[in-house]
Amino acid sequence: MPSPWIAFRTLFQREVMRYLKLAVQTLVAPFLSNLLFLSIFGGLMASRSSGPGGGPYVRFLVPGLVVMGTFLSAFQNPLFSLVAMKYQNTLQDLGQYPLSTASKFGAFALAGALRGFLVGVMTFAAAGLFAGYHLGHPVLFWAFLAITSFVAASGGIVAGLFLDSFEKTNFLVALVLTPAMFLAGVFQAPGTSPWLDLIARFNPLAGLVGQGRGLFLGTGGPEPVTVLLGAAFGVASVAMAVWAVDARKGMSVE
């Protein structure tokens, strides 16, 4: 009987090595994008605006960029990996291997979470040169970032198992998920615009961004509504990912 640990470790190593071989695209590119956002928005707003409590705007911006980079990178890793396996006709083989649901889900989710977490750490390290490295609640912030990355990777598994083309995955990431993250309060402080505040209030991603910012700055978290929506989004993502893997969605020949 094959060891579940060996099966999990092999698939996990495969996923990690896949994106490390393409590190310029999978790690460096999102990192540079976040630095570009930091330089543009931080430079434009530094002399004209400040974050909550009168702090520098760049300090307000950094945690949003860290959470955004972590979430998007973690989500995209299993998404594009699973869709690529469909093009290569290897995902059906994965469904036939003696791998448990926990091994398959854990390998894809943790590998994606690791990629997202690495992007978040890289963004924080570079942004700290401009905004400082002080964290209001360091242990809670990094733990929260790890959980956020895991939730995002779980959502990527669901999308990767149900979508069947790169066109659909690019549409989801570029025209749905990325705008939703932008409108989750990454760049604008509460009170900047009534309609942006309204969108953010009912945006489940705003709960993740707001909570991360609160732990980063040591201030209060977002509104209870956004926290509940964010928590529901996280639980639903993990539950749906486990169900989809267990049901072998996309892994069997139709």
Q: pLDDT tens across 24-67, in order?
A: 888 998 888 888 888 887 666 655 555 555 578 888 889 999 99
Does 254 fall in a domain?
A: no
The amino acid present at 167, given as its one-letter code, is E
Does 252 fall in a domain?
A: no
At 125-142, the pLDDT tens digits run 988 888 889 999 999 899
Structure tokens at 70: 């972590």
Does 253 fall in a domain?
A: no
* Domain around 11: 4-246
CA atoms within 13 A on the CB side of 234: 19
* This model's pTM is above 0.85: yes
Return d(Cα 138, Cα 154) in angstroms, integer: 24
Does 27 fall in a domain?
A: yes
Does 251 fall in a domain?
A: no
Q: How many domains are there within the chain? A: 1
